[in-house]
Structure 1
């Protein structure tokens, strides 16, 4: 016979959760939040974890009021050593409420760091995108063997390992991981991202009642300053010269980013049905956010060179307009088998293999999308910028928004500026017209 259920099961296909009404309030927890693998998302497979979760939650919400605790403390301070009856009364009172007031640290479950990481990854696997799982999978692998670099030929100290008991993660261990990240990672942004993942893992372990939450896990001192620099308008002569030297396929990638705001994922997922060669348009949503509510479908005008290269490079009748040399998709991602995600991005790898790493190449593919955004931001078409990027315009009313945006006029203007020397003219706050060419701004006639 299984132990009785302390919560009510609700295992419809959509929910798979446990519910409890207590003191007029509802409490719920899903099997995913309990950190269980999908094969245990059943009543018998999950009720024990649900019971443990409720027992911990009930201890938390049934702690006595602070006034009662203050009264007991005052009584302790005023009793006389000779007043045995009063002392005994106090002892009896404290014995009744102590279990709720002084909740002891979570008892050690015998779980190891490796087991806790596997549990955490299994939970993230349920709802995360494969592209996010790639980074998380690498993080989990690192944390199972977190070792400082060697010093003077001596092996580095082991910070964390898979076989360590999970109980080692306390305030001191949090500091050790912080100093490890500070020493091993180069960029501050990478340090913030990595330590943030560690924080999320430790918080998960505390929520699951595996360990007490270290008091310094959210300390503001355990962070790094990340500065961002605003991009400047490029020298369009340099950009045009760079585009001329690119192979046709890479030039098409750059022009799709500059002309239509595509990133590498958008380029790889461009479909033939989205292209109208007769009208010289592409009609699409951003791949990253196409499933979100109110993300617009945007119509772009294709420039002469973009149109020519698209006709030349496109594969007719395939699932996607642009394929690799063997007829395979340019971008593939999946959660893989056994929880090991797979991702390959041939748009990015072709750019990198031809032009070298970031420090060696003048422009990244992302730069061209940024250049287009920056050009529109400093132009008479600045109100088109969000739509051109595939974002929902900020000015529209939620109730009246049609979800359709036409930026063809902006695209035509951009082509004239970039390839035909049309000066950039944008009105400033006083209504004065200014001219911007190749990153410089000068007064112009209205």
Structure 2
């Protein structure tokens, strides 16, 4: 005996490929579908509508298929309210809890669709009822994400697939807009200059609208000679926050104190005597003063990215790892605390530049909504590929040397300012 469920898809589902993904998912998972209604949008801004019945051999098979279709934006017809169960203990979610995507998500509570706050992939959904302020005893629901380690006993957690609507970003038919080129993937064939102009335009728009540009930085910025350009972007107000690891900050400071990065003179490429110890000496000097801001105030550090962050009140998060030397006093060594700090940065960002760092790019990408414009620049195409595999489908990859990219971007931004 088979079981079935009718679902609906609506939007630019042909252009974005979501309809094809849904058809393919049903067949790959052993189900069948029958299209009952199909209305194609015939003009640029018209949406397409599809209603189909999905059939599977068992309720479990159908449920798995519906979960996959939900991720592509399909919703069941005549939806019920979401199922909600209390968390049985701290850091323990109910069985069959709904695990989020990074797409805009809505949960049906008391007959109303409620937008999920701070959407992020791989989280639980928690429903909270608050006093609405209209009539005594009247409440309104609030739905937000929680990472599993933050779930508390008694939290009302959404389970199952009912009453949940996901809206994946849709590819515009005209491909226009300042980020019209962000149509997926990574290619070393894209024209770097035109992409840099597009990125610069977007950064200007973000600044003019009081938005936030987050730069995710790897040590290669310093090694390859892009440090001064990034420092200038911080100084001129084009970068509003920095997310990095202990290594990036250490080598940026080492470059200021010793003129080297990883013990190599970044100008002459020579290896000074004891150069391999410069990063340890740098850490020791910063620790001696109590931290990066204190070293800047003392005049020990007088240039570079971290210097400009301190002088221009640009917040930074340095997330530690097991591999860190030192680390610097400013580095967050507690992994959960570092995650929370990165999560706050990601939620506040309007544009994210991931600059030559695989680990931090993936970490920040995991915290980003799919609606946040994201650019990943790396000499290795695999960095963007891994981002896409982890769900950051909005990331556009530019395969180039970060030491060439950052000066070109800075010139594009600052030259336009002077004209």
TM-score band, normalised by shorter chain:
under 0.3
The structure with the largest alpha-carbon Rg is: 1
TM-score by length of 1: 0.25
Bigger relative CO (Cα 8 Å, ≥ 6 apart): 2
